[in-house]
Structure 1
């Protein structure tokens, strides 16, 4: 009997639970949500009821206190739904906008923002990118100025997932003229505050089942208690959560690759190509690449779960899985042929959606820069 070094029976049961939920309550409706450009918010509350939005958080905050491999499993299975957009929207809720609230927030922050997000009562978004600034967080221009017991925020945020319907934004701002990262702070900004507006909802080539917006902050006032963590330490708070976010993105890429591989296998069997050595050879190469990526994700996730933060290896696995997911989606599209290019076919959708994996949570170029520094170049 082969012993699995990472997963126990509870992990396998959890995987099957999530898979069943995806097959019954998500996958049948993906085409509808892609057409609408958003998923129904009722599903967010449903996921909260099932305990899927707070896997890593303490039970007293509404979470499940699950181990890190359940978080990875969730990312994998969610990305087998037939699209990348809906899983990305959920990942913003669970692994991008809320972790800093848990780590650096007060009881007030937990009660007002985190617990409602875990329960699916509030939709969260993360405001980093701007029209002229993306990967270089130190250059952001959105500004928060102290005015007594309040902060006045002005600026624009771009490409914000969940932005059109978010209840609040975990917002990255500049609070001083200190150079580089030293003047960055985080705020929790409710979207019903005067001065907040949605400039436009973006019509994207991919990730269409998640809604994305340009957000405007025009003299938006928030109380000092909405400052998250320590003033001027926002960049370091972001970097803390980015490592886990990159691991989650890597797990998500495994799910996308598995989904593509299963479609390629189904195509070969249904069309009588089991004796076609060319197609079988293509599929075996795809399957081999997926397994190499999978083992890399699991081994680094194990180290992360046990207290290490191996930034070099995390950057490597994020880069490798993102590139492989997009490449494999294209290979499966070619293997299946013109049917897979039809607008209703899920593989062309995965091919479109997976391109963002190489941009979000750090572009390929940023990952390469990190690795280069880590190996002494």
Structure 2
């Protein structure tokens, strides 16, 4: 039984405690948070768990086998490094780290200590994303033309990061998982409206080989909540609406065929408009799956889609996007 120590019991920490406490092969042994009110809530919910406000006490506890970190991104590197040096594998909330150098150091340290790193890109374990991956791998959509994602709502404003570092890690991780190639460049634009020096609206465009383009729109100032991704392929097109209770994914037999006969001025465009179908999506709690995968990864090894290397790729794209934002939409090559 893998004994977990959870650092952070704020917004996401309670979800980690709940899932690691019931996941097959794991049990929460200790929870750490500096907020007394948060610890008081946790004690009422989990009387059998030990609690502390001292991070070092949790990391150095001999009963704790692995550590999950659900704290602000600026603290991830320091906490994960301490845990790895103490001989404990780590599960880190997204984004992995705040800089590329921090991520690379943690990956190197984990390899040296023969420990595991997993980054909490939860959406990769949802039934919807796994179904989309299956459709792409089975060539149902054909060659991919574009990936277009919208993740907007009113808030929640973060005090330490902009909207890109808060919301875009989800979509960048999904994009990286689904598109079987590496982006060549990114252009990012956005703005902030409350004199905080942090963007609350941003638009990211990633350029891939073979004319694949990916666009991500993130926004804390939307009057409505939207979670929609469109993927266009040569054979089929797909719409994923994460807020749709029933038909969360819709696949459309729609497309365009363009041919020329006697030169570029004799352009023939054929539009295909066929049926729509909604594939069955497995109803599971993604965080439960990712918790169980972490246990298996630590104890048995193997490969996972959200290891430290995958987390590093997302951080590289976030850092490049931030540089482009700072320079008013400059194209940054990856």
TM-score (norm 1): 0.26
Of Structure 1 and Structure 2, which has the larger fraction of its residues in helix? 1
Of Structure 1 and Structure 2, which has the larger fraction of its residues in strand? 2
TM-score (norm 2): 0.29
